[in-house]
Amino acid sequence: MENDAYGTEKISAFVEIYNKNNCERGRLMEKAVLQGERGYVLAAYLADRGMDYVIEEDIFRLTHINYAFAVIRDGKVVGDHLKNVDKLNRLKEINPKLTTVISIGGWGAGGFSEAASTPEGRSIFADTAIELMKAHNFDGIDIDWEYPCSSAAGIASSPNDKHNFTLMLRELREKLDKLGQTDSKHYLLTIAAGAGQYFIDGTEMHIAHQYLDYVNLMTYDMRGSFEHITGHHTNLFALACEPDGISCAKAVDMFENAGVPAEKMVLGAAFYGRMWKGVDNIHSGLNQRAETTGRYTLSYTELVQSYVDKNGFKRYWDDDAKAPYLFNGDAFISYDDEESLRHKARYVKERGLAGMMFWEYSLDQTHTLIYTLYKELR
């Protein structure tokens, strides 16, 4: 993304204005305090390329930014490919209450199984992750291993990943706590967790959660690139015709049954949609066979501009699943919108979850989705 509308110069201007105006600075600091007292996590996964789209208002709406992604190279965590990472410190000058976390991994990012397989490998991984965290003034580390005991993303895996994942998290937690004793600070350790039984089966969450501050549930892509049947990819509840089907609520139940406390779970939302093409024109396209998988993705910005009740597409609402979808007689799109996010936020409160997160910040340049979550989680 080449748009520099909210790049370094813009952020620098914000800081300069606040430093010149003590009254305004005081008002913004008060907002930051109120944010910190709000209680619920509102975390954005922010890709390095998305930094230029950050706006002033969202700096105060968010509690956390998970910066994506550092990677593992030759057993070491590195971030030399991240071009905009140091701009985060400008955001923290504007809002000192903003918590920033470096996220390591992502879909197709390997090296985890190898690094976790030996005590030496785990130590090197932890040391280099913490070194990168300190170098860029992050407040913690997020592990996005997709997934232990699985090579679905084309990465190495081993049955030993199940226990080694726990040992890796323990190594990180112990070293972060040791650093925190020196700095008089608590450093966060979180993970991004797959929303299906496969993640539970490939991990020891009943043990691993004790080393974690939060478990970010990736309750999106629950349907999509791997199947030819249309469906919701980020639905709160199951379809009426599939009461045992995957959903956000079912994922929460899975992790709670696996031993993860509700107050550590952060529910995921999608700032993008998934599209199937060549869909049978039956029942508005929902749960129908398609010629393609749901491999096509569209940002929420694109959806608003060109698809929602536009160009032949009609918006439908599944009240059982609490999920919207679009259909034009041939193409089906599953996505989150303001209405579905309001239901998710209310569910978070009802279940006593920690809060919400979403992938990915720059995919909604209308900024309406983050504002909806901010309002509902206050």
Active site residues: 146
- Alpha carbon distance 18, 97 (integer Å): 15
In whole angstroms, what is the distance from residue 44 CA to residue 223 CA?
Answer: 22
**DSSP character for 226?**
T
**How far is the C-alpha of 243 from the C-alpha of 245, rounded, in Å?**
6
Q: What is the DSSP letter of 275?
A: E
Residue 274 main-chain phi, psi, to 5 deg: -120, 135
SS3 of 113, please?
helix
Distance from C-alpha of 378 to C-alpha of 376, rounded to nearest angstrom: 6
Rounded to the nearest 10 degrees, the angle between the axes of helix 338-351 and helix 368-377 is 30
Ramachandran angles phi, psi of 69, nearest 5°: -135, 140
Q: Where are the alpha helices (DSSP H) in the chain?
A: 8-20, 22-36, 56-61, 88-94, 112-116, 119-135, 161-183, 197-201, 205-208, 248-257, 300-306, 338-351, 368-377
Long-range contacts formed by 27-35: CB under 8 A, 24+ apart: 28/60, 28/94, 28/95, 29/96, 31/60, 31/95, 32/60, 32/95, 32/96, 32/97, 32/98, 33/97, 35/60, 35/61, 35/63, 35/95, 35/97
Looking from the CA of 70 toward its CB, the CA atoms found within 13 Å total 30
